[in-house]
A = this chain, B = another copy of it.
C-alpha cells in the first residue's frame, strides 16, 4: 500500500531538478549528464517509481503495445485447444517482448467489427497481428484499408493488401507426399479441408507430387480439422471398405493422430500397412507410438518475421508477404 502517489513531478522535486530533466533521465536521453541520470534513476528505483504508461501514451500518441487477435474458425466462443495455434501465440509473445513491445491478447469478441477504431484510434495498440485467416477476411481487409498496421499468420501465397507470413505449405505438402511415395505407398489419402487457404496449398503440393507418380492413386477426404473427425472417417472407411489405402497425408498432426488411433484400434500396422505424415510437429508427434513423421513449421522464425514486418509498417515501410521454410521430420510412422 506504499507510495502509490509518486509522480514524475514529485520525484523531480525530491531530486531538485525539473520534470523535463527527470523525464529525460528516466528515458535515457543522452542530453542528461551521466551523474544526474544515475541519481534520478536510483531515486526512482528506491521509490518503486514507474512512469505512468497511460500518461506517456497519451502524450506520445504511441502505446508500445501490439495486439494479437486469434481468428478462430468456429463462431462460438470457445477456448483454443490446438497446441499448434498456442505455440504460435507463445512464440509471437516472445518476439514481441524482444522488441520492447507488450502483447495485448484479443479475440473477435472484444474487438468487434471495427478493428481500426477499437485498437488504433482507441489507442489500445500500435498494430495488429492476426493469427489465422479464418472467416474474418473482410474484417482484416477493412482494417488494412483504413491504414491499420497489420500482419497475418496464414498462407503467404494469398493475394492481399497486407503482409502474410506463413510456411511454404505447397512445398510442405509436396515433400510429405513424395516421402510417402518413396516409402512405397501408392494409394494415398489427403485428410483435410482444401477450402482453407493454407490447407489448399498443402493439397496442391500433394497433387503436384502425385503428377510424376503415374502408378499412384489419390483420394481427397474432406473433413473438419480435428482429431475426432479424422478418427471417425478412418474408422468408417475401414469398416465399410476395408483397407483401401496405404498412405495418409494429414493436414495437421492432430488429424494424423486421430487417424492413427483408428488404424491401431483395427490392428492396421503403422507404418507397415499404412504410412502417415502429419503437419506442424507438435510435441505429441514425438511422444505418440509409433512416433509421427511430420512437416515441421518454424514458428519461431515466423513469429519474428511477423513482428519485424509490423514494426516496418510502423516505420512507414511496406513489407511483403514471406514464406518460411519447412522441414520433413521422419519418425516411425513412415
A residues with a Cβ closer than 8 A to B are 1-2, 4, 6, 48-55, 57-58, 63, 65, 68, 77, 79-81, 83, 86-87, 89-91, 93-94, 97, 102-107, 109-110, 114, 116-118, 120-124, 146-147, 227, 231, 254, 257-258, 260-261, 264-265, 283-284, 286-289, 291, 299-300
Q: Look across to chain B and name the residue whose beta carbon is closest to the beta carbon of A265.
A: B289
Residues of B within 8 A of A288 (CB): 257, 261, 288
Which residues on B sit within 8 Å (CB–CB) of A2? 146-147
A15 nearest CB across to chain B (Å): 17
A54 close to B48 (CB less than 8 A): no
- Contact (Cβ within 8 A) A227 B118: no
Query: Which of B54, B87, B118 has a CB less than 8 Å from the CB of A54?
Result: B54
The answer to whether B79 touches A81, judged by C-beta atoms less than 8 angstroms apart, is no
Residues in B neighbouring A63, C-beta threshold 8 A: 54
Q: Are A102 and B106 touching (Cβ within 8 A)? A: yes
A182 to chain B, nearest CB (A): 25
Tell me how far the C-beta of A146 lies from the nearest C-beta in chain B, rounded to whole angstroms: 6
A302 to chain B, nearest CB (A): 12
Can you pick out 28 interface pairs between chain A and chain B where the beta carbons lie within 8 Å of each other? A1-B147, A2-B147, A48-B116, A49-B117, A50-B117, A52-B58, A53-B122, A54-B57, A54-B63, A55-B58, A55-B123, A57-B57, A68-B105, A79-B91, A79-B300, A81-B83, A83-B283, A94-B109, A102-B106, A103-B106, A104-B104, A227-B283, A227-B286, A254-B287, A261-B287, A264-B289, A284-B284, A288-B288
In contact, B227 and A146 (Cβ under 8 angstroms): no
Closest to A57 in B: B54
Q: From known contacts A254-B283, A261-B289, infer whether A122 and B79 are also in contact, taking CB-CB under 8 Å.
A: no
* A114 close to B289 (CB less than 8 A): no
- Interface core residue of A94, A114, A117 (most chain B CB under 10 Å): A117
What is the bound-complex CA distance between A260 and B287, given in angstroms?
Answer: 9
Give Cα A284 to B103, complex, Å.
28
The answer to whether A50 touches B90, judged by C-beta atoms less than 8 angstroms apart, is no
Contact residues in B for A6 (Cβ distance below 8 Å): 121
Residues of B within 8 A of A123 (CB): 52-55
Docked Cα-Cα span, A278 to B120, in Å, equals 45
A87 near B81: Cβ-Cβ < 8 Å: yes
A267 to chain B minimum Cβ distance, whole angstroms, is 11
